[in-house]
Amino acid sequence: MQIVILIDEYDKPILDTLKNPEIAGEMRDILRDFYGGLKSLDSSLKFVMITGVSKLVKTGIFQVSIT
């Protein structure tokens, strides 16, 4: 059986802690571990949809800036 995962505002924990770099770093590490774990389950996943709240601005063909 394969599963579907929907994640809304994946970046919110980091954005909420940007004024405290230590906590923001901890949030980043936790999320990296979580999403790394999802990647290892690829054969069990039917569909994954992840949305964020950060506004992205295209600045070049290989660059993206967060505003």
List pLDDT tens digits, range 44-56: 999 999 888 877 5
* Residue 5 predicted with pLDDT over 90: yes
Cα–Cα distance for residue pair 11/54, rounded to 1 Å: 7
- pLDDT, the chain, mean: 83
The residue among 10, 8, 6 whose CA lies nearest residue 49 is 6
Q: Using one digit for the tens of pLDDT, what is the confidence trace for 33-43? A: 998 898 889 89
CA distances in angstroms from 58 to 18, 30, 37, listed in the order given? 22, 27, 29
Q: What is the pTM of this model?
A: 0.65
